[in-house]
Amino acid sequence: MEKEDSDVTEGVPAPVGASQGTGGPTLAQYNQPVSQQSEPSLLAIMQQMTQIMANLQEDSSSDSSRPPAFKTPSMKAPEGFDGTQPFKVKSFIQYCQSIFHNDPEKFSQDRKKVLYATSFIIGRAAK
């Protein structure tokens, strides 16, 4: 009577990564070094890690391509204009215009510009 493969492998531990199901390991699997038996799973793990690293690099590069939001630097409020020195009205208006240009979102309407500028008109000029 000839011995079957299953009789030959009886009592021999299964190689690493081999299934213990009814199919069982073959003689060829027993003859492979342990390093070769685990290569397919190591290769799959390496491929997954490579894909994860590529995804992380894509995510980080897309975030860094966006410039940081610009914050308008604040400007000092104009000195009050009291009308005692009329020649200073031109510099007062120019300074207010600089403030309006510096923050166009805040001063998007003429009404807001007028209210801002008139809040610095004081004394005799305010009457």
- Does residue 17 belong to any structural domain of this protein? yes
The total number of structural domains in the chain stands at 3
For residue 52, the SS3 value is helix
Examine the domain organization and report whether 60 and 90 are in the same domain: no
Q: Which residue has the tokens 């215009």?
A: 97
- Does residue 78 belong to any structural domain of this protein? no
Rounded to 5°, the CA angle 112-107-109 comes to 60
The confidence score (pLDDT) of residue 47 equals 86
Examine the domain organization and report whether 43 and 23 are in the same domain: no
| Residue 77 confidence class, pLDDT cut points 50, 70, 90 | very high
- Does residue 14 belong to any structural domain of this protein? yes
- Does residue 76 belong to any structural domain of this protein? no
- Does residue 80 belong to any structural domain of this protein? no
**Domain span including residue 98:** 86-126
pLDDT tens track for 12-45: 555 555 555 556 666 666 566 655 555 668 888 8
pTM: 0.47
Examine the domain organization and report whether 38 and 27 are in the same domain: no
Name the residue with higher pLDDT: 92 or 71. Answer: 92
